[in-house]
Amino acid sequence: MKVIEAIRKEGPTISFEFFPPKTPEQEAHLFEVLDELKKFKPDFTSVTYGALGTTAGKTMFWVKEIKQKFGIEPVAHLTCVAASREEIKAQLDEFEASGINNILALRGDPPAGEMEFVPPKNGFSHACELVSFIKEQKPNFCVGVAGYPEGHPEATSLDKDIECLKLKVDVGADFIITQLFFDNQLFFAFLDKCKKAGISVPIIPGLMPITSLKQLKKMTEMCGASIPADLLKKLEAAADNIEKVQQIGVEQAVGQARDLLAKGVHGLHFFVMNQSGPISKILRQLGR
C-alpha cells in the first residue's frame, strides 16, 4: 500500500519513526516495542538511515520485518550520503523485490565533525535530485520528504528553505513529514507559507515525546528546532526526576496533538525513539 493512499483517506493518520538498533539487546527491545505499539494500529512506520549509510542494511532488515511480521506499512529512509546512483538503484530494486514502495527521501547530514555536505562520487547533492531519481527509476513508488517548520539549519531563511521544499514537490514528492517542533504556531505559520508557495501535497507534523532533557537539547541542536521558554523552565526544574520529565513530555505532546487534530491536520507522526511507554500514554489520552 502506498502511504499517500492512507493519508488521503478521511480521518488523520497515526505513524511512528524508529531507528535501527545497534546491539542484540536493542534489537530484542525493538521487537517488544513494535509488538506493543501495533495495537494502536498505526497507518505506517518509518525507519531511519544511519550517517554514512552505517545502518543501510539494518534499515532494509527492519522495514522487511515491520511489513512481514507486524503487518504495518513501512517507509524506508533513503539518503544521498555515501551512495552512488548505482548503489541507490540497487537499494531501490531490493525494496521493490520485497514489496516495499514507500520511501522518505533525504539529503542526509554531514559526518560528525564536518560542517559541509560533500556529495559522493556519481551521487547526489540535494534531496530534490534523489526524489527525481527515485521517480525516474520507480514511478510507482510513493516518496515523502522532510519539511522544517523553523527552517533547515543550513538554510539562509525559512522562505529559501520552503523554495527548496517546493522543488522536491515539483519533481515528485507525494507528502511531507516535518521535523519536530514544540510550538504549534510555528507549524501553522509554516503551513501558510507552504500554501502561498504553491505546495499542495499533505504535510504531516512530526512530534517527539520528551523523555530526557539532555536528549531534547541534543536533538534540537541538530535540527534547529527551538524549545519554548516556559517548557524549558519546567524541564530544567524537573531535570533530576526522570518520571517528572516524562510526565511533562507526555502533557506537552498531548496538548500539541489535540490542538493539531482539532485544526484538521492530515495526521501525526511520532518520533518515538524506540520506546513504547511515553507514546502509549499519549495515544491513550488521545483516545486511541
Above 70 in pLDDT, residue 51?
Answer: no
Percent of the chain predicted with pLDDT > 90: 85
pLDDT reported for residue 11: 83
What would the mean pLDDT of 206-213 be, rounded to a whole number?
Answer: 96
Q: Are 126 and 163 in contact (CB under 8 A)?
A: no
* Distance (Å, whole) CA 123 – CA 107: 11
Q: How many domains does the chain have?
A: 1
pLDDT reported for residue 113: 60
* Distance (Å, whole) CA 282 – CA 250: 6
Show the domain range for 32. 3-285
Give the CATH number of the domain where residue 132 resides. Answer: 3.20.20.220
Residues recognised as catalytic: 17
* Distance (Å, whole) CA 283 – CA 281: 6
Radius of gyration of the chain (CA): 18
Cell 551521487 appears where? 123
pTM: 0.95
pLDDT single digits (tens) 227-273 = 999 999 999 999 999 999 999 999 999 999 999 999 999 999 999 99
Above 70 in pLDDT, residue 207?
Answer: yes
Q: Are 181 and 216 in contact (CB under 8 A)?
A: no
Between helix 184-196 and helix 242-262 the angle, nearest 10°, is 40
Above 90 in pLDDT, residue 3?
Answer: yes
